[in-house]
Amino acid sequence: MKEYKMLINGQLVAGATSIEVINPANEQLVAHCPVASEAQLDEAVAAANAAFPAWAAHSYAERGALIKQLCGAIADNAEEFAQLLTQEQGKPLAAARDEVMFAQYFANYFAEQTIEPELLSEDDNQRLEVLRRPLGVVAGICPWNFPLLITLYKLAPALVAGNTLIIKPAPTTPLTSLRLAEFAAEIFPAGVVNIISDDNSLGQAITSHPGIAKISFTGSTPTGKKIMASAAGTLKRLTLELGGNDAAIVLDDVDPKAAAEGIFGASFINSGQVCIALKRLYVHDSIYDQLCAEIGALANAAVVGDGSREGVQFGPVQNRMQYQKVCDYIADAKANGNIIAGGEIPAGPGFIVPLTVVRDITDGARVVDEEPFGPVLPIVRYSDLDDAIARANASEFGLGGSVWSSNPERAHAVAEQLDTGTVWINQHCAFGPNIPFPPAKQSGLGVEWGREGLLEFTAMKVININKAYSNPVH
């Protein structure tokens, strides 16, 4: 069995202890994962701080070239990364291959970015310049739904902007990040990239660490709140991409057959374990039965199982704790609505949950109001559009939302009223490295991706020059 190591100060090192990484499709051991001690965290932070001045002094192009080299190493070993991703995360191989490709796409995009000084204004008396400089050591804390993609889309903008980095993957999906560490060790100067893994115990020590300037976190809203509290002592910069409960509103002018596939895909992508998956579907009364039937049929036809098997389209829920939660949400769906697909959990081993669609359910049920983060979609009936918008907005979350309509003006008018960071029209869950991804309400703080996302890895600095000043002649 392969031995995985962490990357600290340019060296691949064992942890203080280790934990098991389990394949969620069959609950078999994939590998052991090192668990860093607080002393090892301190070493990584010290190394990242020591490496910072030299790294920050490089040009964007020089830093970008090394990021591209890392992407090249992923590309050369893409199939191995995809297989490993399927083993640790559970997603089908085709989806794992897509993630490996997308991870490179995001990282290569940021590798090519630069931030030039900006001349704000200049006249005879005053010249105002706005500069951006790196923050220092950034810690990226990642979840388990897209382990490689999320590691890369934190690593690339943080590094290209001139910061040094500590990455901490989720304890149930550390292996692709630790494999990446082996390539990063060869490519980056010691201390620039550190990758450490844990057993869920290091969060507090990272987020309160005086040697870390910024936390870029993707994960749940409760953990995001803990991070804010813990980071307050050192006033760290924070980017928090947290939970979501994205609503989609389907207007009465939609052809149910045409819309069903897009809605189905956005609901069950990665077995529903996506922050911006479509999680609540509000459908106008006039097309409710038809759209429910279409989506139910797609879910019933889907092949769910071990992602390494040929023909499997949807993998298991990633870990036992999440599996238990999803099973509870399905019980809630059964109690409060009519199940038209899935609903019956097969006996283990493995955290396989069939794609579940529940109709005749409404707001107030937990599966509608909360974020299941698994393969279960509630379909809610509405008759008054304003009421549907109000219900969609009555959530503490505000990540994404969508409107489905054949009338662009009507769709846009609804989009303007949704209280979320992103609103899609006739699609959902579409994203890219060039598109800013801003959360609203308790879905987070700050922005990832796009120009704004890159700027979050920098501090603004103003140089304000008095041009009228002249030295007295000596």
Report 391-410 residues binding ligand NAD (CB under 6 A).
399
Report 112-151 residues binding ligand NAD (CB under 6 A).
141-145
Distance of CA 29 to the CA centre of its chain: 26
**Integer-rounded Cα radius of gyration of the chain:** 24
Instruction: Count the residues in the chain.
Output: 474
Count, residues near ligand NAD per rule CB under 6 A? 27
Please say which residue, 220 or 427, places its beta carbon nearer to ligand NAD.
220
From candidates 113, 216, 223, 405, binder to ligand NAD by CB under 6 A: 223
- Binding to ligand NAD by residue 239, rule CB under 6 A? no
Number of helices (H), then strands (E), in the chain:
15, 22
Handedness of CA 73, 76, 78, 84 (dihedral sign): negative
Categorise residue 355: left if φ over 0, alpha if ψ from -120 to 50, beta otherwise: beta
Q: Output the smallest distance, CB 314 to ligand NAD, in A.
A: 17
Please say which residue, 53 or 222, places its beta carbon nearer to ligand NAD.
222
In the annotation, is 241 catalytic? Answer: yes
Residue 302 to residue 293: CA distance in whole angstroms: 14
Which of 43, 88, 241, 371 is an active site residue? 241
Please say which residue, 18 or 220, places its beta carbon nearer to ligand NAD.
220
Residue 401 to residue 446: CA distance in whole angstroms: 18
- Binding to ligand NAD by residue 34, rule CB under 6 A? no
DSSP letter at 436 equals: -
From candidates 170, 259, 357, 440, binder to ligand NAD by CB under 6 A: 170
Q: At what angle do helices 78-89 and 93-111 cross, to 10 degrees?
A: 120
CB of 256 closer than 8 Å to CB of 284: no
- Binding to ligand NAD by residue 227, rule CB under 6 A? yes
Q: Output the smallest distance, CB 200 to ligand NAD, in A.
A: 5
Residue 364 to residue 378: CA distance in whole angstroms: 12
Omega into 117 within 30° of 0, i.e. cis?
no
Please say which residue, 227 or 339, places its beta carbon nearer to ligand NAD.
227
Report 256-275 residues binding ligand NAD (CB under 6 A).
275
Please say which residue, 25 or 275, places its beta carbon nearer to ligand NAD.
275
Letters for 272-301 (x = contact with ligand NAD by CB under 6 A, - = none) are ---x--------------------------
Distance of CA 443 to the CA centre of its chain: 12
Please say which residue, 41 or 251, places its beta carbon nearer to ligand NAD.
41
Residue 380 to residue 288: CA distance in whole angstroms: 8
> In whole angstroms, how far apart are CA 112 and each of 62, 68, 159, 427, 454?
10, 9, 12, 28, 11
Please say which residue, 87 or 216, places its beta carbon nearer to ligand NAD.
216
Please say which residue, 243 or 450, places its beta carbon nearer to ligand NAD.
243
Please say which residue, 203 or 316, places its beta carbon nearer to ligand NAD.
203
Q: Which residues pair with 22 in a beta bridge?
A: 29
From candidates 241, 246, 332, 456, binder to ligand NAD by CB under 6 A: 241
- Binding to ligand NAD by residue 244, rule CB under 6 A? yes
DSSP E strands in 332-372: the ranges are 338-341, 356-359
Q: Output the smallest distance, CB 142 to ligand NAD, in A.
A: 5
Tell me which stretch binds ligand NAD (CB under 6 A): 26-34, 106-114, 223-231, 327-335.
223-231
From candidates 204, 234, 383, 407, binder to ligand NAD by CB under 6 A: 204
From candidates 226, 320, 325, 410, binder to ligand NAD by CB under 6 A: 226
Per-residue exposure over 276-285, b if at least 16 CB sit within 10 Å of its own CB, e if not: bbbbbbbbbe
Handedness of CA 203, 208, 212, 213 (dihedral sign): positive
Tell me which stretch binds ligand NAD (CB under 6 A): 212-220, 251-259, 361-369, 460-468.
212-220
Q: Output the smallest distance, CB 246 to ligand NAD, in A.
A: 10
Distance of CA 424 to the CA centre of its chain: 18
* Cα angle 424-160-150, degrees, rounded to a multiple of 5: 45
- Binding to ligand NAD by residue 251, rule CB under 6 A? no
Q: Output the smallest distance, CB 169 to ligand NAD, in A.
A: 6
Handedness of CA 79, 110, 416, 446 (dihedral sign): positive
Q: Output the smallest distance, CB 318 to ligand NAD, in A.
A: 8
Residue 207 to residue 163: CA distance in whole angstroms: 17
* Residue at shortest CB range from ligand NAD: 203
Question: Helix, strand, or coil here: 254?
Answer: coil
Write the single-letter amino acid at 151.
Answer: T
Q: Output the smallest distance, CB 170 to ligand NAD, in A.
A: 4
Which residues are near ligand NAD by CB under 6 A?
A: 141-145, 168, 170-171, 200, 203-204, 207, 218-220, 223, 226-227, 241-244, 275, 371, 373, 399, 444
Active site residues: 241
